[in-house]
Chain A
């Protein structure tokens, strides 16, 4: 078994509770996205799993054992925490050689992971000459060193170029397909949506959600339909007549000419407009995105809410405003 089990985990720093009675499990065979605003406790949880920080109470285990009890831990768990942590004066190869030696991992494995991370050509250069993206690749190479069954990656796509982002995405999906347990924290929603199968969402150290990704989106975001007609006013009246509340859609603050209808299905709207004989120029189901779902969930849990909330893309229809 290669599950990560977090049980009633609590970590206090002075009077702040970074992780608050947190319980969840990360299962093998899928990529689990680890989400939450800054300061939600994602990195702290990872450090607690690795035994780097001592929990105030509760336990975190890998395959049922505390991390420190794993004989040669790099052969079981690979972790990427901070890409800046490799000493700048060492070469990438020496950095990995030292890690490999401590867990009796053969030296040829160092060259394999350097190759896999695309660093072979620069392996003899000192880490301080590396860009953030290259350091990130080195950190991922270190995580892969012991061919571990469990991977924990903290913001792995930070600083990577577009090719790097595709590489890490494909890598994580492949590792999960091979039956490994992959936990990936991120604050980039579109990015996470592209690789995660399952989500664990934290807010202020507490568990907010632990669900499959699609289910998470469906429960958080109502299905919407966008529709455009050559006869704008007739369309709005028709929709309101059927109990819908169409909202004018804005495109960069300008009227886009479309109506956005919450809680609707394209099948229903299509039938209504056809029966009324209204010419339809556009009719599309609007899928909820992970970003919308995430923002809906964490709106209350946000620790650092921006003072000026960004303007929403949809605004009340002129008719509704007139009525108020």
Chain B
């Protein structure tokens, strides 16, 4: 069985589903839209704030774009768990290792490409509204933050995809993950220092800071986030290999 043929098949699957392709485009549109809205209105006012951090604040819209990235990971994987679609897929590609690897590769590749475009585009778009406060890509850590933000979005999509494989339901994953990402950081936010730092979103966002505080540096933070994704992907692989389709 040729792996590139399986990749090709997965690529056709992703692009032929409106919901999946739509959530991928939403990563870009939501992030750019929110950036434009926020920076055009209160961008310069907020920049005067004593706690302002020009680089980290430039990625404010990522809070919304990451929800779309999670949705992409979930919908792309959960389409296999509707009405026994997985049986048709596995009848065509019975070796589950190559099947899962191809799916993850296509998902991850698309999420990474979209994430990188989103990160750079939203950074540049946001700064175009900042007038005298604007920073450029030559700002310390700016390129690192843009690249990191793209990787971060891809890691979240993979995290969601792995979890979907374990739970075999998109709804279940969205119901746990979205509140988790949106609400938990606010609740435990500044209260708990060390534990919250190691949650996937907190750890991954370390790379958006020019000078990150806490235990994790920019790249180690991203590595912790990657470890979370790897853990759910491995759990997904274990579930897919063991279970009856």
- With A52-B245, A73-B94, A104-B2 as contacts: A86 and B8 at CB distance below 8 Å: no
- With A102-B5, A102-B8 as contacts: A50 and B91 at CB distance below 8 Å: yes
Judged by a CB distance under 8 angstroms, whether B90 is at the interface is: yes
Closest to A68 in B: B94
Judged by a CB distance under 8 angstroms, whether A54 is at the interface is: yes
Query: Out of B1, B12, B18, B87, which one reaches A98, CB within 8 Å?
Result: B12
- With A52-B87, A68-B94, A103-B92 as contacts: A47 and B1 at CB distance below 8 Å: no
Does A82 contact B83, Cβ atoms closer than 8 Å? yes
Alpha-carbon separation in the docked complex, A201 to B12 (Å): 40
Closest to B98 in A: A102
Does B91 contact A101, Cβ atoms closer than 8 Å? no
Does A99 contact B16, Cβ atoms closer than 8 Å? no
Does B88 contact A81, Cβ atoms closer than 8 Å? yes
Alpha-carbon separation in the docked complex, A101 to B95 (Å): 15
Closest to A52 in B: B245
Alpha-carbon separation in the docked complex, A103 to B87 (Å): 15
> A15-55, CB under 8 A of B: which get 1 and which 0?
00000000000000000000000000000000100111110
Q: With a CB–CB cut-off of 8 A, which chain B residues contact A87?
A: 17, 79, 82, 85
In whole Å, how far is B42's beta carbon from the nearest beta carbon of chain A? Answer: 38
> B88-108, CB under 8 A of A: which get 1 and which 0?
101111110000000000000
Q: With a CB–CB cut-off of 8 A, which chain A residues contact B144?
A: none
Does A81 contact B93, Cβ atoms closer than 8 Å? no
Q: With a CB–CB cut-off of 8 A, which chain A residues contact B94?
A: 50-51, 67-68, 70, 73
Does B18 contact A102, Cβ atoms closer than 8 Å? no
> B1-16, CB under 8 A of A: which get 1 and which 0?
1100110111011001
Q: With a CB–CB cut-off of 8 A, which chain B residues contact A79?
A: 91
Does B1 contact A71, Cβ atoms closer than 8 Å? yes
In whole Å, how far is B126's beta carbon from the nearest beta carbon of chain A? Answer: 34
Does A85 contact B5, Cβ atoms closer than 8 Å? no
Judged by a CB distance under 8 angstroms, whether B19 is at the interface is: yes
Closest to A139 in B: B88
Judged by a CB distance under 8 angstroms, whether A97 is at the interface is: yes
In whole Å, how far is B244's beta carbon from the nearest beta carbon of chain A? Answer: 4
For the complex, count residues of A whose C-beta is within 8 A of B.
35
Judged by a CB distance under 8 angstroms, whether A90 is at the interface is: yes
Q: With a CB–CB cut-off of 8 A, which chain B residues contact A97?
A: 12, 16
Does A86 contact B12, Cβ atoms closer than 8 Å? no
Judged by a CB distance under 8 angstroms, whether A207 is at the interface is: no
Does B18 contact A89, Cβ atoms closer than 8 Å? yes
Closest to A126 in B: B18
Judged by a CB distance under 8 angstroms, whether A60 is at the interface is: no
Judged by a CB distance under 8 angstroms, whether A172 is at the interface is: no
Besides A50-B90, A70-B94, 10 new A-B residue pairs in contact (Cβ under 8 A), listed by A number: A51-B90, A52-B90, A71-B1, A73-B91, A89-B18, A89-B19, A89-B79, A101-B9, A102-B9, A103-B5
A and B contact pairs by CB, cutoff 8 A, 15 listed: A51-B90, A70-B94, A71-B1, A81-B88, A82-B84, A85-B88, A86-B85, A89-B79, A90-B16, A94-B16, A95-B16, A98-B12, A101-B5, A101-B8, A103-B5
Chain B residues close to A by CB (< 8 Å):
1-2, 5-6, 8-10, 12-13, 16-19, 79, 82-85, 87-88, 90-95, 244-245
